């Protein structure tokens, strides 16, 4: 952490670049300015506290910041262990994989405010946050019923990486993804897959993260070699696999004094291959050309909607794939909201933590004000963490662009 702070204060760019959209950098420069004014240098605990101010939103321009933070988080877990709340928040895959009876029971309890508050208190989470109930039928169960987990011959075929939030909490979004792809003439395979690894990395659970990333590398690259296009509908999963996994890769080179490769135990060549081969689903559909026009719905939801492009989507530089597709729907009114530095503040699942809840709301305050000023009939965003944050703080309905493109926007979301 001292190495990271030294690099940031020597550079100084993020003092002003990240002063309104980040909690980490203002605190770094507060500590630095204190020392410059003759005060004490940053103490160990003050440096360690910096780890909990970063959501890995990706808005800062420096990969060394992320690599040092990931290494520090991992080292802290090795020394102190992982709290039950952090383990739960970073392992939706295990929660979603519970037997159907337990999943239905959890869903029944969490759909009730008293049940949600009680569960949050039991787990040491922020009780004001409604915990999202698991879907009674997860996406993978639905996909197996549809025969989507078996390989089939096709001229154009994709292997779909779903992401845990869509798979276990909002399977209607993943089903919409399948519908859109199939209407565009694409055969969909839902392969065996693990969590992308981002939630475990954020919490510092390096061992679990490496296991899951290694498994996904083997599965996805084997399918790519067999002729499948790789697509992902979750911006966070896409950002992790397309950006973070290949940051600080040093093939055949020694370590850097700025930041060592956090994923050094994983084959750097295969990480680069995956980053180059996997596509954001919206980007993929837009590039299909004519089949997209045939697959668009006749109309969208009524009224005037706003679209927020989440941080992890912007940092993949996809060029606004979803707005381009939504604007093609006859009569549908949608306009962008938010700037290139706006963030909802949720930080994946960090907004559920007691110690981060208030900071989460403060991070998103500027964006919430812009949405309230627009006063739309609804919000569209492709990040399901943003969806949870908007539902907690705003009164507007929230949809994924795939739900609109699939023509199912009128259903309860």
Q: Is pLDDT at 72 greater than 60 in this prediction?
A: yes
Whether 172 and 205 share a structural domain: yes
pLDDT in the model for residue 413: 37
* Residue with the two structure tokens 């927020």: 308
- Cα 409 from chain centre: 22
In DSSP terms, 299 is beta-bridged to: none
Whether 159 and 233 share a structural domain: yes
pLDDT in the model for residue 55: 87
In the three-class reduction of DSSP (H, G, I as helix; E, B as strand; rest coil), residue 333 is classed as strand
pLDDT in the model for residue 92: 85
Whether 98 and 218 share a structural domain: no
pLDDT in the model for residue 292: 73
Whole-angstrom distance, CA of residue 258 vs CA of residue 171: 41
pLDDT in the model for residue 319: 58
- Could you tell me if 325 and 357 are in contact, meaning their C-beta atoms sit under 8 angstroms apart? no
pLDDT in the model for residue 255: 52
In a domain? residue 129:
no
- Could you tell me if 378 and 399 are in contact, meaning their C-beta atoms sit under 8 angstroms apart? yes
User: Residue 344's domain is classified under what CATH number?
Assistant: 3.40.50.1860
Whether 253 and 156 share a structural domain: yes
Q: Confirm whether pTM is higher than 0.75.
A: yes
How far is the CA of 109 from the CAs of 121, 166, 340, 368, in angstroms? 14, 20, 38, 29
Q: Of 89-93, 128-132, 218-222, 257-261, which range is least confident?
A: 257-261
Whether 259 and 143 share a structural domain: yes
pLDDT in the model for residue 410: 42
Whether 144 and 255 share a structural domain: yes
Question: Residue 93 corresponds to which tokens in the numbers above?
Answer: 């895959």
pLDDT in the model for residue 412: 39
Whether 256 and 148 share a structural domain: yes
Share of the chain above pLDDT 70, in %: 95
Our count of domains for the chain comes to 4
Most trustworthy range by pLDDT among 83-87, 287-291, 378-382: 378-382
Question: What is the band of 181 on the pLDDT scale with cuts at 50, 70, 90?
Answer: very high
Whether 247 and 373 share a structural domain: no
Whole-angstrom distance, CA of residue 43 vs CA of residue 306: 44
Last residue of a domain, one of 226, 257, 285: 285
User: Residue 198 sits in which domain range?
Assistant: 139-285
Question: Residue 170 corresponds to which tokens in the numbers above?
Answer: 């909002």
In a domain? residue 134:
no
In a domain? residue 290:
no
Last residue of a domain, one of 285, 320, 336: 285
Mean pLDDT of 41-64: 91
In a domain? residue 323:
yes
In a domain? residue 18:
yes
Whole-angstrom distance, CA of residue 86 vs CA of residue 80: 13
Mean pLDDT of 85-99: 81
Question: What is the band of 157 on the pLDDT scale with cuts at 50, 70, 90?
Answer: very high
Whole-angstrom distance, CA of residue 281 vs CA of residue 365: 29
Question: What is the band of 163 on the pLDDT scale with cuts at 50, 70, 90?
Answer: very high
Whether 116 and 161 share a structural domain: no
Whole-angstrom distance, CA of residue 266 vs CA of residue 244: 13
Burial of 37 (0-12, 13-18, 19+ CB in 10 A): exposed
Whether 159 and 265 share a structural domain: yes
Share of the chain above pLDDT 90, in %: 62
Q: Is pLDDT at 122 greater than 80 in this prediction?
A: yes
pLDDT in the model for residue 290: 63
Q: What is the pLDDT of residues 361-378, one digit of tens each?
A: 999 999 999 999 999 999
Question: What is the band of 411 on the pLDDT scale with cuts at 50, 70, 90?
Answer: very low
Mean pLDDT of 204-230: 96
Cβ contacts of 6 within 8 Å, gap of 6 or more: none
Q: What is the pLDDT of residues 230-285, one digit of tens each?
A: 999 999 999 999 999 998 886 555 555 556 788 888 999 999 999 999 999 999 99
Mean pLDDT of the chain: 90
Last residue of a domain, one of 253, 285, 317: 285
Whether 195 and 111 share a structural domain: no
In a domain? residue 131:
no
In a domain? residue 291:
no
In a domain? residue 275:
yes
- Cα 7 from chain centre: 27
Whether 267 and 317 share a structural domain: no
The DSSP secondary-structure symbol of 49 reads: H
In DSSP terms, 307 is beta-bridged to: 336, 380
């Amino acid at each position: 952490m001292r190495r990271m702070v030294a690099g940031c204060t020597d550079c100084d760019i993020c003092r002003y670049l990240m002063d309104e959209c980040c909690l980490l950098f203002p605190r770094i420069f507060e500590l630095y300015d204190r020392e410059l004014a003759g005060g004490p240098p940053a103490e160990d605990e003050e440096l360690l506290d910096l780890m909990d101010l970063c959501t890995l939103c990706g808005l800062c321009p420096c990969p060394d910041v992320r690599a040092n933070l990931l290494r520090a988080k991992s080292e802290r877990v090795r020394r102190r262990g992982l709290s039950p709340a952090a383990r739960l928040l970073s392992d939706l895959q295990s929660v979603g994989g519970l037997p159907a009876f337990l999943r239905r029971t959890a869903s029944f309890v969490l759909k009730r405010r008293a049940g949600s508050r009680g569960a949050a208190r039991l787990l040491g989470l922020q009780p004001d946050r409604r915990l999202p109930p698991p879907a009674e039928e997860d996406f993978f169960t639905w996909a197996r019923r549809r025969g989507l987990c078996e390989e089939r011959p096709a001229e154009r075929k994709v292997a779909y990486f779903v992401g845990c939030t869509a798979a276990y909490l909002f399977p209607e979004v993943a089903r919409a993804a399948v519908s859109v792809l199939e209407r565009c003439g694409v055969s969909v395979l839902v392969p065996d897959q693990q969590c992308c690894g981002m939630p475990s990395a954020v919490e510092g659970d390096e061992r679990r993260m490496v296991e899951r990333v290694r498994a996904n590398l083997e599965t996805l690259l084997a399918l790519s070699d067999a002729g499948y296009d790789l697509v992902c509908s979750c911006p966070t999963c896409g950002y992790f696999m397309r950006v973070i996994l290949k940051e600080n890769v040093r093939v055949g080179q020694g370590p850097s004094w700025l930041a060592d490769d956090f994923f050094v135990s994983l084959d750097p060549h295969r990480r680069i291959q995956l980053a180059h081969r996997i596509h954001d689903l919206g980007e993929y559909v837009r590039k299909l050309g004519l089949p997209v026009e045939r697959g668009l719905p006749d109309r969208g939801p009524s009224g005037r909607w706003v679209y927020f492009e989440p941080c992890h989507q912007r940092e993949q530089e996809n060029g606004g794939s979803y707005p381009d597709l939504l604007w093609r729907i006859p009569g549908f009114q949608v306009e962008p909201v938010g700037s290139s530095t706006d963030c909802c503040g949720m930080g994946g699942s960090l907004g559920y933590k007691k110690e981060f809840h208030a900071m989460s709301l403060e991070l998103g305050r500027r964006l919430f004000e812009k949405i309230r000023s627009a006063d739309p009939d609804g919000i569209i965003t492709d990040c399901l963490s943003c969806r949870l944050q908007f539902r907690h703080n705003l009164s507007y309905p929230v949809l994924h662009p795939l739900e609109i493109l699939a023509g199912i926007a009128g259903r309860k979301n």
